[in-house]
């Protein structure tokens, strides 16, 4: 996720450099400690405006919709991270950004025409992609920049292994049309997900070239807040470079092919290791809900582009963020229990300008961030609730981030102990699990690093006493039913929350000299 702040680096939400500079790691015997990857909710964004059709007023970006209050979870600081009703929401859930596009068609007055003509247009796109027929794909788009841009999009799309790829038209109104690209990447996504487009259009019977502009759904000020999982890499890059491995699809801009080709085998190994660990220790699937079977990764070195991927006109820069995993709701949630979420898959973006990719130890760094973000992606489909406005009803931050750190350092106990001592040096320790007061994603780089290290250590401590399977069962249960937090601690350890916390705190104090 992210690095500790550099001297003079802006805090989250402040203007930063165009891309993240390499983190200057100081030498520390007997190892070079890894900066952890904090992944918290994105900074709060302006409230989304309605698209080309009337919708109800929505809560600010980054906050979940109202829901009954539940015990458990924790209020969180909207500081450092990070889509069906026609509403599009970005929800902060347990240290991850949950993207959801609502696809239910409510009654709307003033529709300029029915969907029949547009369904023919979108079916033509679907058939053309399946046949890899570029000219047929381009037929609906207006000559000039729109057609030429879609030519590039098509050439990107044919490079990706699709299980499902289709376009669906929804709600034409006054010259605008919402179109969903419903897709499932083979070997990666559990279910199809939907990217939302806003087309400017003529009447579907006006001729062949009826789509005059393609983009994300915009608000009344002409801005795209990124609620529809747009732009994806195939929209943003003129030419994609794509590498496919077992359970892994990695891509970058063609100009960054050297980075992609260098890193792909390391990321493939990280994917294999994470999946093997989850298969060995994770609980069995529950109905349609199961851990992720693969990973979709985008590598990007330019910070402004990194901030724009899947986020419309771009999210606020968090100078501490080095990578992010974004779970996305399934396009069809009918297989979920009533009232539950159903995650279709995740999208991982990594900033390759950071030291994990640029240092002499880059192989270890890429392994680190790969294992960490892929761990988030594995358990993301287990999410069953979106949480509440106040942050309750979501997985505890220390559980979400602790699991990712636990997986990143699996089999590296000596390094983990060294990091615990290094990152707690000079940082107060009160004996509590980190962030249960809502401050896990601190704006202080030192404190945030300590929180990540402590969270990972808490789950390693649990594993050392009760086994890796208990850790995975606890994390899975917390994602599915976050309101049962204390009962889940007891089920995993046989102790109350207070007893487990006290035993773990004693372990930390014995492992870190000078901590009382």
pTM across the whole model = 0.82
**382 vs 316, which has greater pLDDT?**
382
202 within a domain of the structure (yes/no): yes
Give the pLDDT mean for 269-276: 98
Residue 132, domain member (yes or no): yes
Of residues 78 and 458, more confidently modeled: 458
Does residue 275 lie within any of the structural domains? no
- Regarding predicted confidence, which is higher, 50 or 2? 2
pLDDT tier at 43, thresholds 50, 70, 90? very low
Give residue 390's pLDDT: 63
Which of 471 and 386 is assigned the larger pLDDT? Answer: 471
In a domain, 437, yes or no: yes
Per-residue pLDDT tens for 349-370? 999 999 999 999 999 999 999 9
Which pLDDT band, with edges at 50, 70 and 90, does 103 fall under? low
> pLDDT category, 487, cuts 50, 70, 90?
very high
For residue 88, the model assigns a pLDDT of 36
The last residue of one of the domains, among 209, 227, 245, is 227
Average pLDDT over residues 378-388: 89
Token readout for 247 is 């359970």
Confidence of residue 516 (pLDDT cuts 50, 70, 90): low
Region 267-273: mean pLDDT is 98
**Residue 409 predicted with pLDDT over 70:** yes
pLDDT recorded at residue 297: 98
Residue 322 lies in a domain: no
Least confidently predicted of 159-163, 220-224, 292-296, 398-402:
220-224
Q: What is the mean pLDDT of the chain?
A: 81
Question: How far apart are the C-alpha atoms of 215 and 15, rounded to whole Å?
Answer: 26
Residue 507 located in a structural domain: yes
**pLDDT of residue 461 exceeding 80:** yes
- Give me the sheet containing 248-253, strands edge to edge: 88-93, 96-101, 323-329, 343-351, 295-300, 248-253, 240-245
Residue 395's pLDDT is 94
Q: What is the CATH number of the domain that holds 164?
A: 3.10.450
pLDDT of amino acid 83: 27
Residue 476: inside a domain, yes or no?
yes
Q: Which of 174, 197, 227 is the last residue of a domain?
A: 227
- Structurally, how many domains does the chain consist of? 2
**Contact 431/501 with Cβ under 8 angstroms?**
yes
The pLDDT of 151-160, averaged and rounded, is 98
What's the CA gap between 333 and 199, in Å, rounded?
A: 25
pLDDT of residue 114: 65
Burial of residue 214 (CB within 10 Å: 0-12, 13-18, 19+) is: buried
With tokens 């976050």, the residue in question is 482
pLDDT tens-digit map of 20-30 = 223 333 333 33
- Residues 156/165, Cβ–Cβ less than 8 Å: no
Query: For residue 488, what are the domain limits?
Result: 384-515
More confident residue, 410 or 62: 410
Question: Percent of the chain beyond pLDDT 90?
Answer: 63
211-220: average pLDDT: 89
* Listed range (334-338, 388-392, 419-423, 512-516) with the worst mean pLDDT: 388-392
Q: Helix and strand tally (H, E) in the chain? A: 14, 11
Q: How far is CA 55 from the centre of its chain?
A: 26
End position of a domain, from candidates 188, 212, 227: 227
Confidence (pLDDT) at 82: 31
pLDDT level of residue 67 (50, 70, 90 thresholds):
very low
d(CA 23, CA 495): 40
Please tell me the predicted confidence (pLDDT) of residue 206: 74
156 part of a folded domain: yes
């Amino acid at each position: 996720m992210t690095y500790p702040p550099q001297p003079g680096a802006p805090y989250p939400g402040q203007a930063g450099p165009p891309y993240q500079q390499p983190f200057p790691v100081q030498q520390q015997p007997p190892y070079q400690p890894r900066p952890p990857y904090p992944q918290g909710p994105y900074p709060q964004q302006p409230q989304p405006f309605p698209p080309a059709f009337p919708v109800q007023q929505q809560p600010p970006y980054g906050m979940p919709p109202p829901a009954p209050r539940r015990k458990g979870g924790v209020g969180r600081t909207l500081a450092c991270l990070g889509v069906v009703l026609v509403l599009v929401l970005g929800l902060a859930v347990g240290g991850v950004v949950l993207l959801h596009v609502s696809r239910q068609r409510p009654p709307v007055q003033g529709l300029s025409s029915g969907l029949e003509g547009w369904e023919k247009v979108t079916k033509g796109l679907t058939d053309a992609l399946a046949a890899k027929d570029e000219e047929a794909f381009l037929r609906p788009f207006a000559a000039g920049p729109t057609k030429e841009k879609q030519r590039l999009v098509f050439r990107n799309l044919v490079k990706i292994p699709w299980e499902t790829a289709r376009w669906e038209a929804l709600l034409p109104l006054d010259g605008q049309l919402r179109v969903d690209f419903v897709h499932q990447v083979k070997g990666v996504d559990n279910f199809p997900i939907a990217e939302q487009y806003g087309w400017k259009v003529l009447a579907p019977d006006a001729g062949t070239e009826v789509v005059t502009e393609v983009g994300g759904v915009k608000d009344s000020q002409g801005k795209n807040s990124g609620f529809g999982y747009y732009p994806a890499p195939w929209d943003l890059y003129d030419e994609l470079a794509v590498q496919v491995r077992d359970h892994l699809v990695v891509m970058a801009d063609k100009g960054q092919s050297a980075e992609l080709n260098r890193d792909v085998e390391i990321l493939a190994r990280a994917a294999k290791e994470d999946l093997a660990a989850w298969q060995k220790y994770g609980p069995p699937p529950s109905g349609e809900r199961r851990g992720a079977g693969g990973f979709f990764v985008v590598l990007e070195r330019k910070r402004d582009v990194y901030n724009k991927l899947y986020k419309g006109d771009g999210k606020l820069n968090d100078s501490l963020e080095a990578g992010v995993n974004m779970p996305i709701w399934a396009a069809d949630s009918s297989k979920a229990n009533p009232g539950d979420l159903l995650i279709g898959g995740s999208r991982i973006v990594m900033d390759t300008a950071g030291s994990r990719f640029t240092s002499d130890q880059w192989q270890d760094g890429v392994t680190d961030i790969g294992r960490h973000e892929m761990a988030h992606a594995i358990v993301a489909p287990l999410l069953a609730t979106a949480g509440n406005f106040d942050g309750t009803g979501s997985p505890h931050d220390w559980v979400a981030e602790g699991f990712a750190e636990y997986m990143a350092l699996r089999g590296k106990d000596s390094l983990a102990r060294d990091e615990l001592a290094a990152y707690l040096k000079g940082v107060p320790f009160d004996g509590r699990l980190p962030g249960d007061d809502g401050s896990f994603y601190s704006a202080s780089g030192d404190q945030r690093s300590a929180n990540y290290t402590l969270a990972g250590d808490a789950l390693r401590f649990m594993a050392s006493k009760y086994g890796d399977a208990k850790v995975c069962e606890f994390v899975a249960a917390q994602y599915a039913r976050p309101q049962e937090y204390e009962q889940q601690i007891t089920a995993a350890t046989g102790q109350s929350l207070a007893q487990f916390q006290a035993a773990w705190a004693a372990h930390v104090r014995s492992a870190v000299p000078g901590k009382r």
